[in-house]
Structure 1
Amino acid sequence: MPTDLVPDDLWERVTPLLPPRPVRRRRHAGRLPVPDRVALAGIVYVLRKGVAWRDVPAQVVGCSGVTSWRRLRDWTEAGVWPRLHEALLAELRATDRLDMDDAAIDGSHIRALRGGAHVGPSPVDRGRPGSKHHVIVDRHGTPLAVSLTGGNRHDVTQLFPLLDAIPAIRGLRGRPRSRPRRLFADRGYDYDKYRRRLWKRGIKPLIARRGVAHGSGLGRTRWVVERTFAWLHQFKRLRIRYERRADLHQGLLELACVIICLRRLRRAPASGGPDIPGVGATAAAGRVS
Structure 2
Amino acid sequence: MRVDLVSDDLWERVAPLLPPAPERRHRYPGRLRVSDRVALTGVMYVLWTGVAWRDVPAEIVGCSGVTAWRRLRDWTEAGVWPRLQAALLTELRRDGLLDLDDCAVDGSRVRALKRGDHVGPSPVDHARPGSKHHLIVDRHGTPLAVTLTGGNRHDVTQLLPLLDAVPSIRGLRGRPRRKPRRLYADRGYDFDKYRRLLWKRGIKPMIARRGVVHGSGLGRVRWVVERTFAWLHHFKRLRVRYERRADLHLGVCRTIG
Asked if Structure 1 and Structure 2 have the same fold, meaning a TM-score greater than 0.5 normalized by the shorter chain, the answer is yes
In the TM superposition, residue 25 of structure 1 has moved relative to its aligned partner by: 3.2
The residue type paired with residue 175 of structure 2 is R
Deviation at 1:75, TM superposition (A): 0.2
CA deviations over 1:114-134 (Å, ceiling 9, x no partner): 010100010111111000011
Instruction: Kindly indicate whether residue 200 of structure 2 is the aligned counterpart of residue 206 of structure 1.
Output: no
Find the counterpart in structure 2 of residue 268 from structure 1: none
Aligned pairs (5 A) from 1:93-242: 93-242=93-242
Match of 2:82 in 1: 82
Q: TM-score, normalised by structure 1?
A: 0.87
The secondary structure found in structure 1 opposite 2:23 is: coil
Q: Report the secondary structure of 1:145's partner residue.
A: strand
Distance 1:231 1:223 in 2: 13
Paired AA for residue 76 in structure 1: T
Q: Which residue of 2 aligns with 1:282?
A: none
Cα distance, 1:177 vs. partner? 0.7
Provide the C-alpha distance between the structure 2 equivalents of 1:173 and 1:2, rounded to a whole number of angstroms.
41
Match of 1:20, SS state, is: coil
Unpaired runs of at least 5, structure 2: none
CA distance in 1 between partners of 2:19 and 2:105 (Å): 32
2:37 is matched with: 37
Shift of 1:236: 1.7
**1-side partners of 2:61 and 2:236: how far apart?**
17
Secondary structure, aligned partner of 2:13:
helix
2-structure distance, mates of 1:176, 1:154: 30
The CA deviation string for residues 44-86 of structure 1, in whole angstroms up to 9 with x for no partner, is 1111111100000111100000000000000000000010000
Q: What letter corresponds to residue 183 of structure 2 in structure 1?
A: L
What is the rounded CA distance, in whole Å, between the counterparts of 2:148 and 2:142 in structure 1? 18
Q: What amino acid is aligned across from residue 78 of structure 1 in structure 2?
A: A
In the aligned structure 2, how far is the partner of 1:20 from the partner of 1:227? 37
Separation (CA, whole Å) in 1 of partners of 2:27 and 2:163:
50
1:86-129: per-residue Cα shift (whole Å, max 9, x none)? Answer: 00000000000000000000000100000101000101111110
- Give how far 1:28 is off: 4.5
Query: Which moves more between the two structures, 20-29 or 46-55?
Result: 20-29
**Is 1:7 paired with 2:35?**
no
SS of residue paired to 1:108 = strand
Letter in 2 for 1:252: V
**Distance in 1 separating the partners of 2:22 and 2:58:** 24
In the other structure, the counterpart of 1:19 is 19
Give me the whole-angstrom Cα distance separating, in 2, the residues matched to 1:121 and 1:178. 33
Once superposed, which parts of structure 1, at least 4 consecutive aligned residues long, lie more than 2 Å away? none
Aligned counterparts, 1:236-255, within 5 A: 236-255=236-255
3-state DSSP of counterpart to 1:133: strand
In structure 2, how many angstroms separate the alpha carbons of the residues matched to 1:80 and 1:225?
25
Identical residues among aligned pairs (%): 77
Using the TM superposition, name which of 153-162 and 20-29 deviates more. Answer: 20-29
Q: Distance in 2 between matches of 1:117 and 1:100?
A: 31
